[in-house]
Structures are given as structure tokens and as C-alpha cells.
Structure 1
């Protein structure tokens, strides 16, 4: 799962135009009721989308210093989705139509440039996610997930997992029982020694890389 943070700090200069909201850990943010563009000053939010068969798929985690829900506000398109606060989170909600206001756009070029850049980054993350999930079997997806985490930790073979096993299963699009079976098999093959939220331990990196490429 990709995490983005610190992409839009310049929006803190105009928080007087927004409304402050505080959400406790695991709260669902009622984005359909509290419509607008959100900025996170502290905490983090996980974004899930709902598949046609009703499954929740975790796609992105948004950290402090970032906007979210901007694409919905701009496009007025509302696909089924859920925003969860993963810790106590302070969110500032800007008016939904702020980006249709030409006066605002002209007066705040730094904020607009920041928003465009961050939207481009998120689009690339989503495209990569879709392409990756469309290739390989479930074991390959799990192996790629572990490899991606390793690369985020300077190619370390021992590192924490920022997600629960349920969240990992949701991201990959499998049942938690399937994930547990795959992890058990990876341990039997000597690929990993441990997979917990506190610590993932890779034993055989070349084999992990080989399995990540299987179809």
C-alpha cells in the first residue's frame, strides 16, 4: 500500500477558509454529508473503494500535510468508497466549489500548483496499483507487497508492516484466510521467517523476487 504525506503543506496558509473537524481512530469520515476538499494537519486516513461484489479494497493512505477528496469535488463523480481515520486525525474541510472560483485560483497559485502535483502523484500510484494487481497470482501479489515494503526501508530484510493482516488482504483483494495460507507457504519455503505488523523478516530475497514474478 502506498502512503503519501507532506505534499500540500502550503494549504496551511489558508486554513482560515476551512472548517476544522476531529475524528477519532477508526472513525468513518462522512464525506457525502461533509462535502468538500479535505486537508490533514495531523493523523492519517486510509482510502477504501468498494468493488462491484461489495468488497472493500484499500488503495491509498493519506498522511499529514496532504489533501484528499479533491478529485471527487472537482469531477462531481462519487464512486463508492470509505475514508477511515487510522489514528486521531485533524481534518480541515474547504468548500466543495472552491476550485470553481476563478478569483480563488488566481489569488492562490502556490496552492493550485501543489494540488495539481499531488493529484498527478496519486494518479500514478493508482495506475501502478491497478497494473500490478492485474498481473500474477495471489502469492506473487503478496511477494510484491513484501518487496515494495523492503524497498521503502532501504532494501532492509527486517522491517515493520504499517498495516494489519486484514488491511493487507484487502489491499491485495483476497480473504484473510488466503493471505494466512500464502504466508504459511512462504515460511515453509524459507522465504520469510515472520510477517506481523511489528516485524517482517525476509530470509531468501532472491527466491522472494523470483516468486514475485510468477504468473
Structure 2
């Protein structure tokens, strides 16, 4: 089985980051309209007649609950299509936000391309790339559902700390560049719940000091067990 290049998508803490997932679409940039969006620009999801290619820059996708709480679920970098799911998935409106983190150059394509048999015959490799990228995004959203709904606060926090520990070389002391407040905002968990779980993990000897610049992992296997990712550990 062929897998996309692992560098095109990764889980960064509780957020998926994708890049160059749809790079082959650069072949037809001349068939779309080029636009420059400033930093902190929010894209409207009201128009279903177009989809987009992010040619340069970074933006994030957030889900917005009825109470206004926002959670970032995906960060998109250059070489990625977005807005195509809205056209393909016809259901009740799900509130979300697409906001640029840097100045972005996007290419606006008409949705008619996705219904055009002549286009599909001329560019079958682009259609295949689109199908594969939808699979990657679907897997990312499934992981978000698992983390949010099937793991309690303790499990989500331990999973995040485990990701930080593994990303930084599995050393006893790492720099998380993440505060407890940041963690609460990313996970959508109340700050008091984060504080309580961190205290419990310290009392149990799973972690030591935890600040924005220092995380001490004293019992990594227990940390990963609590995060339900023991399967990622190599056998002894």
C-alpha cells in the first residue's frame, strides 16, 4: 500500500498540520483566480460555488460550538486544497472558521471543476490526489473526535504531554513551549481541570515540574498508558 509522504501531515499536539498534501494541483493554477489575503483575515464559508488552493502562507481551521467556544482542529500550510468538503458534503450547517495566520496567497477554483467529466479525464492524477487527501483529512477529524469524546480530561492531557515528549526526543526534560492555559485552550478543557490533572500526575510521580519552558517526564510509560497510546512504544 502506498502512503503519502509522512512530511505532508502530522499531529502537532492536539492539532493536525498538513502541508503540500495537494501539491500536484499547482499544475493548473492558471485555471483559478489568484488572491492575496492579509494576516488575521477570516474566510467566509457562505459561498459554496468555489474551493481554494493555498499556494503560500498558513491558515487554521476551527470548529465553533453553539456557546461560542472555538477549538483549532487543523493548521494548513502551502500546497493544500480547502473548501472542497463543503461542496461535497451536503448536510446541516456546521459552524467553522478559516483564519489566516500569515499573509496568504490563494487560488480560487470554481466548484464546477469537480463535476466536470472532461476535467476528470484530462487530470485523473489530480482527482486521485483529491480523493487521497480527503482520506487524510477524514482520518484527522476522526482522531479529533476520539480525543475529544472518548478520552476524559486526564487522557487528553496525558496524550498531549506524550506527544511533546516524543517530538523532543523522549528526554527526561523537554521544553514544551506551552502553558497550562495554552493547553486548556487547545483542548477545550476548563483551566481548573488541567490544573487538577497536572497536580495528580505530579503526586503520582508521572511528571515533575511543568511550566511553559520546562516539562519533566519521570514515568513516560505511565504517561502514555494514561493517554491510551501505549501501542506506540517499542517492545522492550
TM range (shorter): 0.7 to 0.9
Map Cα deviations across residues 108-153 of structure 1 (whole Å, 9 max, x no partner).
1111111110110110111122122222321321111222343345
Partners of 2:179 and 2:24 in 1: how far apart?
A: 32
Of the structure 1 ranges 61-70 and 51-60, higher mean CA displacement relative to structure 2 is found in 51-60
Partners of 2:180 and 2:124 in 1: how far apart?
A: 42
Mapping of residues 137-156 of structure 1, within 5 Å:
137-155=152-170
Number of equivalenced pairs: 209
Q: Does the 8 Å CA contact 2:180/2:195 hold for their aligned counterparts?
A: no
TM-score normalised by L of structure 2: 0.75
Counterpart pick for 1:64 among 75, 78, 83: 78
Q: Which runs of 5+ in 2 are unaligned?
A: 1-14, 229-236
Q: Does the 8 Å CA contact 1:73/1:97 hold for their aligned counterparts?
A: no
Partner secondary structure for residue 54 of structure 1 = coil
Change (3 A) 1:151 1:125: farther
Partner secondary structure for residue 97 of structure 1 = helix
Q: Find the counterpart in structure 2 of residue 55 from structure 1.
A: 69
Of the structure 1 ranges 100-109 and 115-124, higher mean CA displacement relative to structure 2 is found in 100-109
TM-score normalised by L of structure 1: 0.81
Partner secondary structure for residue 132 of structure 1 = helix
Q: Find the counterpart in structure 1 of residue 139 from structure 2.
A: 124
Partner secondary structure for residue 174 of structure 1 = coil
RMSD: 2.8
Q: Which runs of 5+ in 1 are unaligned?
A: none
Deviation at 1:48, TM superposition (A): 0.9
Deviation at 1:159, TM superposition (A): 5.0
Deviation at 1:71, TM superposition (A): 0.8
